[in-house]
Structure 1
Amino acid sequence: MDNRFYDVAVIGAGPAGLTSALYCRRAEKTVVVFEKDVVGGQVTHSPKIENYPGTAQMSGLDFAERLTEQVKSQGAEIIEAEVTGLLREIDGSWKIILPGGEFYHSSTVIIAAGVHHRTLGLEGEEELEGSGVSYCAVCDGAFYRGLTVAVIGGGNSALQEAVMLSELCSHVYVIQNLDYFTGEQSLVSILRNASNVELITGTIADRLIEEDGELRAVHLAPNGEKSMLDSVTGIDTDTYNLPLDGVFVAIGLKPENEIFSDVAPLDKYGYIEAGEDCSLGNGLFVAGDCRTKSVRQIATAISDGAAAAVSACRYIMSRG
């Protein structure tokens, strides 16, 4: 047998993928996990995890590191590489294709590819990433200690990033296009009570202003009659340019399932459609945030990971 043939291949090393790997190894299946970005997934960006049992005050990075070490200790192989293709072979096995033509084979595949950050789509945004534009306060917040920053977004991710940055930065603006925040009200309350935070609702950031390759300001525009833009102090109301040292974009996530469209059904938003057993048929499974579901949390990702692993192991047993 090919020495790169596994019982289970897991695509993605977030909580869902790592849980799948852990469960499969406990069932004595050979397992390989592929991750193109950060092992641990999006949870590594969370400054604190307070809504998962048994992890009070634990950072997302600590949680991810512990889970990763647990999976490795059980004998799963983790390969930091991007999967560029997935094909079903004539014998029913799966071919996992990596850059440069490298490939692996497995009896089953669990897709746990997660989601990635949405961008503003503004001119110069990509060029300014790392020079004033960031998508991760945990990763980059320390670079802005004592400086002025803005967080763009109004959901839990944006509010959590703003809370973290308020403990590091001299001033934090939170810019939300709607006239209300969609995240947890407890987080909104924390920010309202912070002396160095200003909440700007009903406002959009429509241009990034740079100088010598560094972000200097964002241009803001009111979005509706209830915009709070005019209430902000220290802003040039003639041009609505808000001077900043950095901006953290937290406007949501989207799945990365395009490469699986030939083998897995996608809904109109690009999520993979599967039931609670996470099975897609033919030895293919899906787990975590990349699956169509109503709730996307660490707890639901781990639940998916366990369900997909159990389904995969049952499939392997059924084939003898």
Structure 2
Amino acid sequence: MANQDFDVIIVGAGPAGLTSGIYAARSGLETLILEKEATGGNMSDAPGIDNYPAVEEVTGMELAEKMEEHASKYVDIREIEPVEKIETGDTMRIETSENEYKSDAIILATGTEYRKLGVPGEKEFSGSGVSYCATCDGFFYKDKHVLVVGGGNAAVADASHLLDIGCDVTLVHRRDELRAEKALQESFFDKGGEIIWNSVLEEIKGEDSVESVKLRNVEEDSESELEVDGVFVSIGEVPKTDIAKSIGVELNDSGYIGTDDDQRTNIERVYAAGDVTGDPKQVIIACAEGAKAAITAYKELKNPYWV
């Protein structure tokens, strides 16, 4: 395996990782970004983003492409190269599926993955009617009836997007009110969105693909069956912390990486930024944390008297 030395290696190429790369490289640090999948992280799946300053109504994919284009001017981004092992110390050693690297500091921007329902039929029909990405798969359900599970910003945004592209959409939520922002709720209802309140999805049924779901009303403790062609699960995320835990990074009570105000973890010269550090999960906050992590790394590596 090739050996390559860097000042900073950033694990993850979502908004936090890309911003870290821009700030670290512009400060003069030899920087590398390693990404397990494709650049953009969960941001790429957002149907629409209209609360990012100076960028009006853009899709997550479009914003991800702009960030990648910008970051690529300063830093090498290596996609589809998952980090498999990290050894900390005076010099960090990072092993990936393809190479071995050395670095003086590491920024963990590994993000989150979609939370699963854990109900019968979910795993069996994943990719055959069960999806976690309305932007990716919604087109295939035009003129079909789909169920969106969830009640937060992501769920209501997904449901609105599916309505926009011609799906017949029903949202199911376990409570009697949504957690989503008022503007998102108003948009959903203005488009004719419908909600099944106080209910949970208990089973996904079908033969070769999804045909129906079994729902349970949590107030009445009654069951019903609803015919649908697809199920979009949007119930939040869980942090990707396996590599962090493997090197002894401390997590908080919610399972996210704990950091101080300057994005330091409990391990010297290991920083963390973005959704993997917890709520609120917003692109602008991930970018801000990514910038802070890079600035802190620069100070501690090159100008320790500033710290």
Letter in 2 for 1:260: A
* Structure-to-structure mapping, 1:135-284, within 5 angstroms: 135-195=132-192, 197-211=193-207, 213-225=208-220, 240-261=224-245, 262-280=247-265, 281-284=267-270
Identity, % of aligned positions: 32
Q: Following TM superposition, by how much is the alpha carbon of 1:215 offset from its aligned partner in structure 2, in angstroms?
A: 0.6
Name the stretch that deviates more: 307-316 or 123-132: 123-132
Q: Following TM superposition, by how much is the alpha carbon of 1:175 offset from its aligned partner in structure 2, in angstroms?
A: 0.4
Cα distance in structure 2, aligned partners of 1:170 and 1:46:
17
Letter in 2 for 1:278: Q
Aligned equivalent of 1:61? 61
Aligned equivalent of 2:46? 46
Q: Following TM superposition, by how much is the alpha carbon of 1:103 offset from its aligned partner in structure 2, in angstroms?
A: 2.3
Aligned equivalent of 1:20? 20
Q: Following TM superposition, by how much is the alpha carbon of 1:78 offset from its aligned partner in structure 2, in angstroms?
A: 2.4
Cα distance in structure 2, aligned partners of 1:74 and 1:37:
20
Contact 1:31–1:77 at 8 Å: present in 2 too?
no
Contact 2:3–2:102 at 8 Å: present in 1 too?
no
**Cα pair distance change 1:30/1:79, threshold 3 Å:** farther
Cα distance in structure 2, aligned partners of 1:98 and 1:26:
25
Contact 1:276–1:304 at 8 Å: present in 2 too?
no
Contact 2:131–2:232 at 8 Å: present in 1 too?
yes
Give a deviation string over 1:75-95, Cα, whole Å, max 9, x none: 333232221222114xx1111
Cα distance in structure 1, aligned partners of 2:167 and 2:270:
49
Segments of 5+ residues of structure 2 without an aligned counterpart are: none
- 2:273 maps to which of 278, 284, 287: 287
Cα distance in structure 1, aligned partners of 2:179 and 2:14:
25
**SS in structure 1 at match of 2:275:** coil
Q: Following TM superposition, by how much is the alpha carbon of 1:3 offset from its aligned partner in structure 2, in angstroms?
A: 4.7
Cα distance in structure 1, aligned partners of 2:254 and 2:26:
34
Give me the TM-score of the superposition, normalised by structure 2.
0.93
Give a deviation string over 1:244-288, Cα, whole Å, max 9, x none: 111100001110112212331111221111112001242111111
**Cα pair distance change 1:77/1:171, threshold 3 Å:** closer
Q: How many residues align?
A: 302
Q: Following TM superposition, by how much is the alpha carbon of 1:152 offset from its aligned partner in structure 2, in angstroms?
A: 0.2
Q: Following TM superposition, by how much is the alpha carbon of 1:210 offset from its aligned partner in structure 2, in angstroms?
A: 1.4
**SS in structure 2 at match of 1:301:** helix
- 2:109 maps to which of 112, 123, 129: 112
Segments of 5+ residues of structure 1 without an aligned counterpart are: 230-238
Give me the TM-score of the superposition, normalised by structure 1.
0.89
Letter in 2 for 1:19: T
